[in-house]
Amino acid sequence: MKKIVILILFLGLSCKFAERELYILPKGFIGNVLIVFNTKNGSEKVYDQYGRRSYLIPTSGILLSRFTDTYGVINKKFIYSNKDKTLNELKGIYFRDSIQSLDTGRVYAFYGIDATITFPQSKDSVGIQFISVCKPRDLVHFMNQKFVKRILGMQFSPEDVNYKKLLDLKTNP
């Protein structure tokens, strides 16, 4: 019994917990969200009143952030913001989870497509995270968009990581 307790304590203490995160989406947003972390020209680091990182996603779905990318046990919350300040929560689903049991008429935030890109000459790196906000039947469509494939397959340079270039890639894949 002591060995089991020690094993549970060891496993619990060795887990790295990522910072809690809050994704604030524009009301009714459907589509892919791209967040690029560790950018010098990104949005300010903002925490909500509960100590969660807050990402205010613009209508384009592209956010450059000064936050560094996070790893570890995750705690993500996705919400739609409304003009009257009411919040509607979306359930977050890891994209590799089964979607068979999900309500086909409901919108979810599918997450878990992440990458880190290191620039060899400067040794700087950025983290990239995609989130598809859609109904389960549309998930394959959003994950197969040219924009997603181009970003994940691209060789970046630090100059490529700016809002205007990423928006142009999204609108003209």
Structure tokens at 89: 């929560």
Alpha helices in 108-162 (DSSP H): 139-143, 146-153
Tell me the CA end-to-end span of the chain in Å, nearest whole number: 58
Look up residue 159 and give its DSSP letter. Answer: G
pLDDT of residue 54: 95
pLDDT of residue 5: 46
pLDDT (tens place) for every residue of the chain, 173 residues total: 555 544 444 444 445 567 899 999 999 999 999 999 988 888 999 999 999 999 999 999 999 999 988 776 678 999 998 776 667 899 999 988 888 899 999 999 999 888 887 777 767 788 889 999 999 999 988 888 887 877 777 666 666 677 777 777 677 76
